Amino acid sequence: MFWGVPLAEVLRAHGIQPDFEADFGGAEASLDYIHRRSGQTEIFFVANQLDRPQEARCTFRVRARRPELWDPLTGETRTAAAFVQTDDGRMKVPLELPPHGSVFVLFRQPIGPAQKGTGNRLWLDLGEVRELAQVGLNGKDLGVVWTKPFRMEVTKAAQAGVNRLEVDVVNLWPNRLIGDQSLPETQRFTKTNVKKFRNDSPLSRSGLLGPVTILAGKLE
């Protein structure tokens, strides 16, 4: 029997780790979560209840499984770009959630030999992009990123020495339509019956806003 001791401390004393933990790097924040199991699949639903974005290094009590991120709005799925197995066997996954955003984190497939190795891996982080970007590195098409985090693994495409990075960014029409309002009709780039924009309408943030960084990690 235990008395006057928090339940979390009792569980830790018996070697039972928390089911879910979120490290915000000292910032005041919180994430809610629900954990379910379906057969051999571990399913976590992680939600940001705040009206501001949150970034956290989340640790899940799952052993040697590759994390998949499922978007509850679009159904899009992808393998987490970065994850690591901690010394106590749990899986640590960095998550970035928009205001009131959420994500399903599924653990189904075991980590293969490539993920268990100690080799370094590289990720390209574009920072802020408005609205989407197609990325190529050293002549290899790495695909399109269109949602946060604007990040992709570039380990196989990167090379020692000089690398050639190409980023084609696509934004929305409003800024072009606003700019055209300052030009004679014969010099405008667009023709439209949309009349909601004027030459003094505020411009939207657009393009590759960055910062663009290379992230290196080692899977233990």
Give the tens place of pLDDT for each residue, 115-161.
544 456 888 999 999 999 999 999 999 999 998 889 988 988 998 77
Domain boundary among 100, 115, 130: 115
Is residue 106 domain-shared with residue 124, that is, in the same domain? no
Question: Where does residue 137 rank: exposed (0-12), middle (13-18), buried (19+ CB within 10 A)?
Answer: buried
Contacts (Cβ under 8 Å, ≥6 apart) of 5: none
Share of the chain above pLDDT 70, in %: 90
Give the span between the Cα atoms of 100 and 54, in whole angstroms. 9
Is residue 89 domain-shared with residue 34, that is, in the same domain? yes
Q: Could you count the other beta carbons within 10 Å of the beta carbon of residue 50? A: 15
The answer to whether 160 and 191 have CB atoms below 8 angstroms apart is no
Is residue 40 domain-shared with residue 94, that is, in the same domain? yes
Residue 220: pLDDT above 50? Answer: no
> pLDDT higher for 136 or 214?
136
Question: Where does residue 69 rank: exposed (0-12), middle (13-18), buried (19+ CB within 10 A)?
Answer: middle
Region 172-196 average pLDDT: 91
Strands, sheet with 84-85, edge to edge from the N-terminal-most edge strand:
20-23, 54-60, 91-97, 84-85
The pLDDT value recorded for residue 168 is 96
The pLDDT value recorded for residue 195 is 86
Residue 216: pLDDT above 80? Answer: no
Is residue 177 domain-shared with residue 217, that is, in the same domain? yes
Task: Name the token pair of 74.
Answer: 């679009």
The pLDDT value recorded for residue 40 is 92
For the CA atoms of 115, 77, 87, 215, the dihedral, rounded to the nearest 10 degrees, stands at: 70
Per-residue confidence band for 26, with pLDDT thresholds at 50, 70 and 90: confident
Per-residue confidence band for 179, with pLDDT thresholds at 50, 70 and 90: very high
The pLDDT value recorded for residue 218 is 55
Per-residue confidence band for 219, with pLDDT thresholds at 50, 70 and 90: very low
| CATH number, domain containing residue 90 | 2.60.40.1180
Is residue 103 domain-shared with residue 151, that is, in the same domain? no
Is residue 1 domain-shared with residue 82, that is, in the same domain? yes
The pLDDT value recorded for residue 118 is 44
pLDDT tens-digit profile of 57-115? Answer: 999 999 888 899 999 988 888 888 778 888 888 999 999 999 999 999 999 988 754 45
Is residue 103 domain-shared with residue 194, that is, in the same domain? no
134 lies in which domain range?
A: 118-220
Is residue 111 domain-shared with residue 199, that is, in the same domain? no
Is residue 17 domain-shared with residue 97, that is, in the same domain? yes
Number of domains the chain contains: 2
Share of the chain above pLDDT 90, in %: 52
Domain boundary among 65, 92, 115: 115
pTM of the model as a whole: 0.52
Is residue 92 domain-shared with residue 169, that is, in the same domain? no
Is residue 69 domain-shared with residue 140, that is, in the same domain? no
Domain boundary among 115, 142, 171: 115
* CA atoms lying within 13 Å on the CB side of residue 29: 25
Is residue 108 domain-shared with residue 160, that is, in the same domain? no
Region 46-54 average pLDDT: 93
